[in-house]
Amino acid sequence: MKRIIVPIDFSPESLKGLELAIVYANKFNSDLQMVFVQSKKSGKFHIELDNQYNSALEEFETLIDKYKKDLHQDCDFSYIIKSGKVHEEVAHQAEAFDDSIIICSTNGESGFSDFVMGSNAYRIVQETERPVITVTSERYIGNVDKIVLPLDITKETREKVPIVAKIAKAFNSEVHIIKVTGSTSEGIHNKLKMYATQVKKYFDEKGIRYQSSLLVGDNITESTIEYAKTIDADLIAVMTEQTTAIANFLLGSYAYQMLNTSPIPVLSITPKGIFFTFGVRTTGG
């Protein structure tokens, strides 16, 4: 996590993403770069396209002055102004770096750049192969004490584990491994138990604290969020695609529901076909 990319539209709501990014940058000693994407439409402030660039420069300098003191001195703090579609330009910027992550708010306003964060946040998640953390509330801008790690029976579900481990290690978090399913099948429960055992072994090797639970319910999204609320979690980790439609754990619906309904920050990860078995990395098909 060498560089954190923060899409921003200068609304107070979008600054939650920047403030959370500063927390992560300080933990990982990451460089932090803010991204503003110019729009061809004027926003509620009636800023013409020709003036957007200079106005954005002024806004960025104000943010640098305000937040630089909160960032570790070894972390580079910069910004870039781009033109195009928000989700595409943010994804391209993140993917220009080998080890990057995107952190953004999901409830910004249509304003400076017609940057409707709620929709663009999900589009960014769909567009990029980089991990994305989304946040909605100031309450979660601080230490990450507890992380919820849902596991389903797809192979991809375990690809969340390495980055969750890195975050847990940096914040000294406790990870709650939850086996989630809408089925009462003993076979499915046994497979979930096997996956959880693999994850536990990986965490044992990394010295990461964890707990494990089984959740059975009709709506996996609601069950996951309610569990996270119950333990006062600070992060929920999900995959952005699933290859099997099982018990409403379709990522098209699951990730979208999670991003749009979770008050708790969500870490979204795109599958790459790399699976972790008992702490050993293997390539899956």
Asked whether residue 93 falls in the same domain as residue 188, the answer is: no
- Average pLDDT taken over every residue of the chain: 85
**Same-domain status, 149 and 279:** yes
Collapsing DSSP states into helix, strand and coil, what is residue 281? strand
Examine the domain organization and report whether 109 and 185 are in the same domain. Answer: no
Look-up: residue for tokens 């604290």? 209
Burial class (CB in 10 A: 0-12, 13-18, 19+), 83: middle
Write down the pLDDT at residue 119.
65
Tell me: do 124 and 226 sit in the same domain: no
Of the candidates 254, 242, 176, the one whose C-alpha atom is nearest the C-alpha of residue 208 is 176
- Here the CATH number for the domain that contains residue 154 is 3.40.50.620
Domains held by the chain: number: 2
Same domain, 12 and 90: yes
Same domain, 95 and 195: no
Q: Which pLDDT does position 71 carry in this prediction?
A: 96
Q: Indicate if 166 and 238 belong to the same structural domain.
A: yes
Same-domain status, 152 and 272: yes
Note whether 19 and 115 are same-domain residues.
yes
Give the residue-averaged pLDDT of 94-104: 94
Residue 274 has pLDDT above 80, yes or no: no
Do residues 134 and 147 both lie within one domain?
Answer: no
Model confidence pLDDT, tens digit, residues 4-56: 999 998 988 889 999 999 999 999 999 999 999 987 654 544 445 557 888 89
pLDDT(60) > 90: yes
Domain that residue 110 falls in? 3-138
Q: Which two tokens stand for residue 95?
A: 């993917």
C-alpha distance from residue 240 to each of 12, 95, 133, 160 (Å) = 27, 17, 12, 10
Query: What strands lie across the sheet with 209-216, from one edge to the other?
Result: 77-83, 31-38, 3-7, 100-105, 132-135, 266-269, 235-239, 146-151, 174-181, 209-216
Q: Which of 51-55, 68-72, 228-232, 262-266 has the lowest mean pLDDT?
A: 51-55
Q: Which of 107, 138, 169 is the last residue of a domain?
A: 138
Which helix (H) or strand (E) segment holds residue 194: the answer is helix 186-206
Q: Which of 108, 138, 168 is the last residue of a domain?
A: 138
Residue 159 has pLDDT above 60, yes or no: yes
Which of 3-12, 51-60, 237-246 bottoms out in mean pLDDT, i.e. has the lowest? 237-246
Average pLDDT over residues 225-245: 83
Q: What is the pLDDT of residue 51?
A: 77
Q: What is the pTM of this model?
A: 0.87
